[in-house]
Amino acid sequence: SQTIHQWPATLVQPVGSPLSLECTVEGTSNPNLYWYRQAAGRGLQLLFYSVGIGQISSEVPQNLSASRPQDRQFILSSKKLLLSDSGFYLCAWGTGPYQPQRFGDGTRLSIL
Amino acid sequence: QKEVEQNSGPLSVPEGAIASLNCTYSDRVSQSFFWYRQYSGKSPELIMSIYSNGDKEDGRFTAQLNKASQYVSLLIRDSQPSDSATYLCAVGSGSARQLTFGSGTQLTVLP
């Protein structure tokens, strides 16, 4: 069966520090991969999605970037975090059009 | 711009009652519809998928779709306190690999 791993579960970072969040999927090949952010009490905001290695689409231009160095690995990065980057970051995977997405456990990021 | 609207709630129902959650969407070519449950502090969990007009039942959950009215709903029968969560509606359009999520409805089931 397919599983998705996301780490770390929680992270506290100072303003201006770098960020790297990693997500890996097991049990499937060539998944579509997604990064979302959820602010407290709010809906899901799609940040990036990828349909293949090295293929990244950005939905919200900001100081975040994403990379997909391997088929089942998706990384969210920042060179300098802002206070507004705080939130619940979720990685998700899907198999294609008309199919649901399934989420990892998420990373709760707090910026101090 | 594709939009998915949900009543934010909170919606409170007594234990054992039927909870009814509603969702409307703006894109007429939408083809796939999903309901997710999100407990406080946790990630969303897929609970129902529906693609055709009508009802789809899975245990205590029934999803209802009316494409002409651009409306999808989720009924939870015999509601339990463990059903207390935020329910997210998500809609997929055409061949897009993205889903548009509603902001969610918070449900509280009172013992």
pLDDT tens digits for B39-96? Answer: 999 999 999 999 999 999 999 999 999 999 999 999 999 999 999 999 999 999 866 6
Examine the pLDDT at A64 and tell me if it is beyond 90: yes
- Give the minimum alpha-carbon distance from A33 to chain B in angstroms, rounded to a whole number: 10
pLDDT at position B107: 97
Residues of A in contact with B34 (CB under 8 A): 100
In this structure, are residues A23 and A4 in contact, taking their beta carbons and an 8 Å threshold? yes
Mean model confidence pLDDT for chain A: 93
pLDDT in tens, A7-50: 999 999 999 999 999 999 999 999 999 999 998 878 899 999 99
Q: Which residue of A has its CA nearest to B43?
A: A105
In this structure, are residues A63 and A76 in contact, taking their beta carbons and an 8 Å threshold? no
Residues of A in contact with B90 (CB under 8 A): 100-101
pLDDT at position B14: 98
In this structure, are residues A56 and A67 in contact, taking their beta carbons and an 8 Å threshold? yes
Q: Which residue of A has its CA nearest to B86?
A: A41
pLDDT at position B96: 67
Residues of B in contact with A100 (CB under 8 A): 32, 34, 46, 49, 90, 99
